[in-house]
Structure 1
Amino acid sequence: MKKILLLALFSITLMGCNDPESVAAEAAQLRAEQHPDRTYVGEHNYYTMESSGDIQFTTKKDLKVMYQDFPRYFIEKAKEWPKEDLNDASSYDLPRFQFAWANSSSKDEYESGIKIWSMKTDGTDLRLVTDVTVELVNGIKNLTRSPNNRYVAWADLGGYKTVYDIKTGKVVELSISMSPLAMLWSEDSRYLYFERARDLFSRWDSETGEINEIDFKIRTKAVLTEDKIIKVTDAAVVGYNLKTDERLFVLSSDRSLSDKERIFRVKSISPTGRFAWGSNQSFAWMFDTKELTVKQMTTDYTPAQILGKDAHFSALDSFAKVRIVDRVGDRVWSWRAFYYGALSGDAILYNGLANNGLWFKEGK
């Protein structure tokens, strides 16, 4: 009887060893013991916490360099990585960045393809937005996100425009020929306005799928409400009443300068349209569309390629290095979010009004 009991126990032990969940748990424990500095997400992906401040931030203004830990992501298998979930409220308690990134240089067509990703402005909660991949040779030039966070739209280097519905997974191709890149969402997220050819504009209806021509011009650096559009042009910020076709205001760069000196090379606008930015190598301007004021800077300024609510925070839009500026507190954070992979195009801000527009939780 004693031998029978021992054999039974031995058999149960072997069955436990072959159980997939047990094997996975043992493998996870082994990884944790071998690499205590890593936090694994799936079997092949992980992140480490690395201090910011080790990368110089080029600026024309003295800023206090901030040192704190941010995640650095190592992703070999994007299919194992969590996708952005519209039903997960915890993902939307801060503004978010969206960007195009090929997470691996492997020969695997999926892993080496450019995909759309997002993360919170404090570097946490990296999510895969869409499995739709773009060949590196085509790249992604322009990205946008609807105000309700549901729709992602992008244009490749040839001008072909695509919309992805996060809720349903549906993909819509808007352009079948090469065209300019301007895209802009309506305030209620129903319509995507886009430039189908030079100075010819259309509107895609997310509810019906219809595409119709429109009779006003849009810019990517703009904010559209039910009856008004505020857009950053080549050398000014202009507001229009769309119902009356009346120009509401023009805030211009310095007209006494030459065209080369007053044309914007960098443009951005805050989520509500209250503030806008334009700059070049010599001059910079901050525009307040509520007070109708223009602040011109020649030396003491920091570029704002991405502009947050009330112009409190800004960032550079190249995410090879993430560089964030607190324009109120004169502080800067600079860190590498990705260990390897290839980025395409520029990052954008969305969900910009979360946390009252502040890019870090209180105490950061």
Structure 2
Amino acid sequence: MQEYEDFSADNPVGQALSKPQKAAAILIAMGKPVAGKLLKFFAPSELQTIIASAQSLRSIPPQELENVVAEFEDLFTEGTGLMDNAQAMEGILEEGLTPDEVDGLLGRSEALNKLETTIWDRLQEADPTAVGQFLSREHPQTIAYVVSMLPSSFAAKILLQVPEKQRANIVHRAVNMKTVNPKVAEIIEQRVAQMIEDLKGDENTEATSRVADMINEMEKPVVDALLGELEAISSSDAAKVKPMVFLFDDILTMPQRSRITLFNDISSDTITLSLRKSDADIKEAVLGSIGARQRRMIEADLAEDMPSVTDRDIAVARRSITQEAIRFASLGQIKLAEEEDSEQAA
């Protein structure tokens, strides 16, 4: 191949073929099996030059191709005219080189780098519940920007984790979102990147959460016994699960201020349903945490007999309240137990 080492620039249509164009034409005319075996005799720089020539190679009439073939010894007879040369050259490369080598010569690696997933693609791989709980600590404008950058279905799941009283404000900000200063966008994206890393920090969080959800479906005596046995087996596992375990009866151990914060975000219908068949002390703890007018309405509803309400309906209402309590606690907005109780439990 020494005769073709000194490659010149590609010639425009209508002029004689340059040396790299002739080499490309011959390789394409050979076909994949033979041409693929010859590729190892070219230096990488030569191959790149031939590839570039093939991509811009004009259609070659049979007679002109025959003249080119005649310049080489022991090569095949004339071709039939060349079209789609870039694709043909790619096929030849794939026959004689590894996929990585082909990608490198064709510049595919650079193209793939340009298509690297964005921070918003990476965020969608995270648990929307965890993302929403994390973002709840951020400024509403930041949350609005983040949800505006995500698909609607994923953004909706995130928004549902934000306290209900903040949602309208966030939606309002997202609807009226103007062009964001690039520097501000960069700061937010850096924060999102850090959030993704933080969410990956504990790979067992999801498993622990599933276990806690299972325990939260049990009756309090069973839960207390189970957590005691888990503590004996593994204190570290118990320490992971306990903060996520909160039953409806545990409302009695909550500080009054935390109860007020919690039930301020719960609808009257849910509160009414959860208090049916409840003990008097729990009813008083809940009703003593809401406004006087709301309390009178709920007490009036509780006084009415509702045969259509099932135990399952009551359990669902109570579970929705305990889930909200756990979410608020994870955000540091409420405490699930008085300080002295927490210290004794520790």
Q: Which one has the largest radius of gyration?
A: 2
Pairwise TM-score range, normalised by the shorter structure: under 0.3
As a proportion of its length, which structure holds more helix? 2
Normalising by structure 1, we get a TM-score of 0.24
Greater RCO, 1 or 2 (C-alpha within 8 Å, sep 6+): 1
Q: TM-score, normalization: structure 2?
A: 0.25
